[in-house]
Amino acid sequence: MKNHKKTNIPNKSQYYMYGNHAVLAAIQNKNRTIKQLYCLPKQAEEFKNKFNHLNIEIVQNDFITKQIGKNLPHQGVIALVDTVFKKNIEDLDFNEGKDRVAILDQISDPQNIGAIIRSAAAFGITKMILPSDNCPDENATIAKTACGCLELVQVAKVTNLKSAIEKLKKMNFWISGLDGKGQENMDNIIDVEKLAIIIGSEGKGMRRLTEKACDFLVRIPISSNVESLNASNAAGIIFYCLAGPKNNSE
The partner residues of 86 in beta bridges, in order of sequence, read: 156
Whole-model pTM: value is 0.90
The contacts of residue 52 (CB under 8 Å, 6+ apart) are none
Beta-strand relationship, 14-18 and 77-82: antiparallel
Q: What's the alpha-carbon Rg for the chain, to the nearest Å?
A: 20
Name the class of domain 2-82: alpha beta
Is 231's pLDDT higher than 60? yes
The partner residues of 200 in beta bridges, in order of sequence, read: 105
99 or 246, higher pLDDT: 99
Instruction: Tell me what pLDDT residue 189 has.
Output: 84
Instruction: Tell me what pLDDT residue 102 has.
Output: 97
Q: Find the angle CA(120)-CA(122)-CA(123) to the nearest 5 degrees.
A: 70
Domain assignments of the chain as residue spans, ordered by start: 2-82, 89-248
The predicted model gives 51-65 an average pLDDT of 89
73-103 per-residue burial string, b: 16 or more CB within 10 A, e: under 16: ebbbbbbbbbbbbbeebeeeeeeeeebbbbb
DSSP string for residues in the chain: -EE---PPPP-TTEEEEESHHHHHHHHH-TT--EEEEEE-HHHHHHHHHH-TTS-EEE--HHHHHHHH-TT---TTEEEEEE---BS-GGGS---SSSEEEEEEES---HHHHHHHHHHHHHTT--EEEEESTTSPPS-HHHHHHHTTGGGGSEEEEES-HHHHHHHHHHTT-EEEEE-TT-SEEGGGTTT-SEEEEEEEBTTTBS-HHHHHT-SEEEE----TT-----HHHHHHHHHHHHHHHHHHT-
Instruction: Tell me what pLDDT residue 100 has.
Output: 95
The partner residues of 217 in beta bridges, in order of sequence, read: 177
The contacts of residue 47 (CB under 8 Å, 6+ apart) are 37, 39, 54, 56, 77
Question: How much is the mean pLDDT over the chain?
Answer: 89
Instruction: Tell me what pLDDT residue 63 has.
Output: 93
For residue range 158-193, what is the model confidence (pLDDT) as tens digits?
999 999 999 999 999 999 999 877 777 777 888 899
Instruction: Tell me what pLDDT residue 250 has.
Output: 54
Give the pLDDT band (50/70/90) at residue 12: confident
Instruction: Tell me what pLDDT residue 134 has.
Output: 87
Q: What is the CATH number of domain 89-248?
A: 3.40.1280.10
The predicted model gives 26-54 an average pLDDT of 90
The partner residues of 13 in beta bridges, in order of sequence, read: none
Which is nearest to 86 in space by CA: 183, 1, 153, 162? 153
Instruction: Tell me what pLDDT residue 205 has.
Output: 84
Is 8's pLDDT higher than 70? no
For residue range 102-148, what is the model confidence (pLDDT) as tens digits?
999 999 999 999 999 999 999 999 999 999 988 999 999 999 999 99
Give the pLDDT band (50/70/90) at residue 23: very high
Instruction: Tell me what pLDDT residue 6 has.
Output: 54
Is 5's pLDDT higher than 60? no
Is 90's pLDDT higher than 80? yes
